[in-house]
């Protein structure tokens, strides 16, 4: 550690190191991002990352995560075990150094390079600092060691508590997150499940167990096929146009590169980049290396087989329609750039990935001509559709120029011109639209009513989507444009609120609209501008009217009340103007739910499943999630 302090590149980190664990408790957000649910789960990730590093170094093939009934969480691995020898500088066991001294990235053992990715790489000492209690057990050299901590301070000395076979080694850490620090203490099975599954896919062969003793749920994540299995999993609710994913893995210099590719019959491009198991949502040199090579290899093949006249070539977008790809690289010193530090900057990586893809993919095409054929045909088709879409887009643009002020006639706009204050309600049906128009606050709320069901964008090609009138009306009203020409600064309303009936049809329309936003305006969702209104299901008449939003709530609210006066709202149309205003439109009393894209992989899965062909998957999903609506008033 002393050596680290002398290294200039650790500038900002040094301050953290000097501050010590009190600094972590004083300003936890600086170390783990926040003290909310996400920060809480960050603690688990920090521990898992250490174990994954041990797996990457080749010493561990099993990680167990347990959520205990008493609210604690433990992470156990069968790696070498954190060293217990007395540290020469600190004169205490090395494990105690690891748990009580902040480390400026990397493990305290300078020679082992850290590959997996903690957000801040602050490690187990941070978890210790933010835990009311922490217990560590280590198996090394035939002995079992144990030590206990509270809020970063040792409660006991490291002691030997038993024996074990020499070849049994590993580290077990159980921690109790500190209620003085965290606003939420409950671990979420789903959040952990997604990350653990991802880690299993990204570390072929590694077995990861998740055991939730509160929810009584267990799962083992294990993928011998690595990224190949990941691709199959992402595409499972889509229709693949070739059965086996294209897959290759190669190490160049110090960089390990693993790539999987499979096309489906849809139109979306889904390329997921990972660097040291971190999802690089902003892309970077690994992703651009893949894109460049893919376009070149396809065009070379087309040229060689004379598949296009007059030497025409395809564009990158043509080659990526319906593509699901993963490029996962592991690199000793990643440089992250971009707004959220999730874009890979290492410039040498682009060439490495390009050369791997060029080599393997051209070979694959030569050896699998029937697969090459369906992929190339798909790219040729999408080039045709691109030209058609361009015509349709031009049409939309022209329409905007000629129509009144550029806005659709069906839009009842608000009078305020300030985006910040204003809201656009997208309302199902003309009659509900009419009621909303009368109930609204004209100053800040605009209404656009939509005729029944909009086009299913998952199944239609982009040129048809963009020539549908309901959709062009919506695009023009929102103002930002779509796809690559999307410009958030042109947004005309701060909130776009989808308001449908609380029934099956309403649910369907809501999903269609969300799919549209997800596919064509994902930044609108990312920016937190998309909401759904939550109209109540029932009114209970007491001294004051009381609205309830679910069957359970109704049961609770009426238990013990004899002869409650209940009205069921079948739709928005059955409410009078005051009711509509109070329950779904008045910013002070309504319930609306903000839509998030938490995880691109999962969102894509859900949307494909809900909108695509996988009927059974869809039924299962709806049955499982039907009761989960988190409400924001």
Burial code (b: 16+ CB inside 10 Å, e: under 16) for 590-603 equals bbbbebebebebeb
- Crossing angle of helices 504-520/469-478, nearest 10°? 60
What percent of the chain is helix, strand and coil (3-state, nearest 5)?
40, 20, 35
Dihedral over alpha carbons 329, 332, 338, 343 (to 10 degrees): 0
Kindly list the residues in this chain that would bind ligand 0RA in the complex (CB under 6 A): 50-51, 54, 77, 79-83, 107, 109, 112, 171
Q: How far is the CB of 78 from ligand 0RA (least distance, A)?
A: 9
Structure tokens at 243: 């059965």
Q: How far is the CB of 195 from ligand 0RA (least distance, A)?
A: 17
Shortest Å distance, C-beta 334 to ligand 0RA: 20
Output 79 or 433, the one with its CB closest to ligand 0RA: 79
- Any idea which residues carry the catalytic annotation? 428, 501, 503, 505
Closest CB 164 distance from ligand 0RA, rounded Å:
15
CA 3 → CA 31, 99, 104, 273, distances in Å?
22, 19, 11, 33
Q: Enter the DSSP assignment of 264.
A: B
- Give me the torsion for CA of 144, 150, 152, 153, rounded to 10°: -80
Contact 445/414 with Cβ under 8 angstroms? yes
Radius of gyration of the chain (CA): 28
Q: How many residues does the chain have?
A: 633
According to DSSP, the β-strands at 445-450 and 343-344 are unpaired
* CA–CA distances in Å: residue 15 to residues 5, 11, 12, 22, 481: 10, 7, 6, 12, 45
As a whole number of angstroms, the longest Cα–Cα distance in the chain is: 83
CA 173 from chain centre, in angstroms, equals 27
Query: To the nearest whole angstrom, how small is the minimum distance from the Cβ of residue 525 to ligand 0RA?
Result: 37
Closest-CA residue to 76 (of 224, 213, 207, 225): 207
């Amino acid at each position: 550690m002393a050596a680290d302090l002398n290294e200039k590149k650790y500038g900002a980190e040094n301050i953290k190191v000097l501050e010590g664990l009190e600094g972590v408790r004083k300003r936890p957000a600086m170390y783990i991002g926040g003290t909310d649910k996400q920060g809480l789960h960050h603690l688990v990730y920090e521990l898992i990352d250490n174990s994954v590093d041990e797996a990457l170094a080749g010493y561990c093939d099993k990680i167990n995560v347990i959520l205990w009934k008493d609210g604690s969480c433990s992470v156990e691995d069968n790696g070498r075990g954190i060293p217990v020898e007395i540290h020469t500088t600190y004169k205490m066991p090395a494990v105690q150094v690891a748990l009580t001294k902040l480390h400026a990235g990397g493990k305290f053992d300078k020679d082992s390079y850290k590959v997996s990715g903690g957000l801040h790489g602050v490690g187990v000492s941070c978890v210790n600092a933010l835990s009311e209690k922490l217990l560590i057990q280590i198996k090394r050299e035939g002995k079992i060691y144990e030590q206990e901590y509270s809020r970063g301070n040792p409660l006991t000395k490291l002691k030997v508590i038993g024996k074990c076979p020499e070849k049994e080694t590993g580290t077990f850490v159980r921690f109790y997150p500190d209620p003085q620090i965290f606003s939420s203490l409950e671990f979420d099975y789903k959040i952990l499940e997604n990350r653990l599954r991802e880690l299993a896919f990204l570390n072929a062969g590694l077995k990861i167990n998740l055991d939730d003793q509160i929810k009584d749920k267990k799962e083992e994540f294990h993928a011998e096929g690595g990224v190949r299995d990941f691709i199959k999993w992402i595409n499972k609710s889509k229709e693949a146009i070739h059965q086996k994913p294209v897959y290759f893995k190669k190490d160049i210099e110090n960089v390990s590169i693993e790539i999987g590719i499979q096309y489906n019959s849809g139109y979306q491009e889904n390329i997921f980049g990972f660097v040291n198991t971190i999802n690089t949502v902003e892309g970077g040199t690994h992703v651009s290396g893949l894109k460049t090579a893919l376009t070149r290899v396809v065009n070379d093949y087309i040229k060689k087989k004379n598949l296009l006249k007059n030497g025409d070539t395809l564009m990158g977008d043509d080659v990526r329609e319906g593509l699901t790809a993963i490029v996962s690289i592991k690199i000793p010193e990643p440089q992250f750039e971009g707004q959220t530090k999730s874009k890979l900057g290492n410039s040498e990586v682009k060439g490495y990935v390009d050369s791997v893809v060029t080599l393997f993919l051209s070979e694959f095409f030569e050896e699998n001509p029937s697969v090459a054929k369906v992929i190339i045909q798909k790219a040729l088709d999408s080039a045709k559709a691109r030209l058609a879409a361009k015509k349709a887009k031009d049409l939309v643009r022209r329409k905007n120029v000629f129509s009144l002020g550029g806005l659709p006639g069906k839009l009842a706009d608000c009078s305020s011109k300030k985006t910040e204050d204003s809201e656009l309600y997208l309302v199902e049906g003309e009659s509900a639209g009419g009621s909303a128009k009368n109930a609204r606050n004209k100053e800040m709320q605009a209404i656009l009513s939509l005729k029944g069901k909009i086009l299913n964008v998952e199944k239609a090609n982009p040129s048809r989507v963009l020539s549908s009138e309901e959709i062009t009306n919506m695009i023009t009203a929102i103002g930002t444009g779509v796809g690559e020409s999307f410009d958030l600064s042109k947004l005309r309303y701060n909130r776009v609120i989808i308001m449908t009936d609380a029934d099956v049809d309403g649910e369907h329309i809501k999903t269609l609209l969300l799919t549209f936003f997800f596919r064509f305006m994902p930044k609108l969702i990312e920016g937190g501008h998309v909401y759904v209104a939550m109209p109540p299901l029932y009114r209970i008449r007491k001294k004051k009217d009381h609205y309830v939003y679910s069957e359970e709530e109704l049961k609770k609210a009426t238990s013990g009340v004899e002869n409650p006066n209940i009205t069921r709202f079948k739709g928005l149309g059955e409410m009078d103007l005051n009711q509509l205003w109070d329950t779904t439109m008045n910013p002070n009393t309504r319930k609306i739910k903000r839509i998030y894209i938490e995880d691109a992989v999962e969102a894509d899965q859900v949307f494909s499943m809900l909108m695509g062909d996988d009927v059974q998957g869809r039924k299962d999903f709806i049955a499982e999630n039907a009761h989960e609506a988190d409400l924001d008033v």
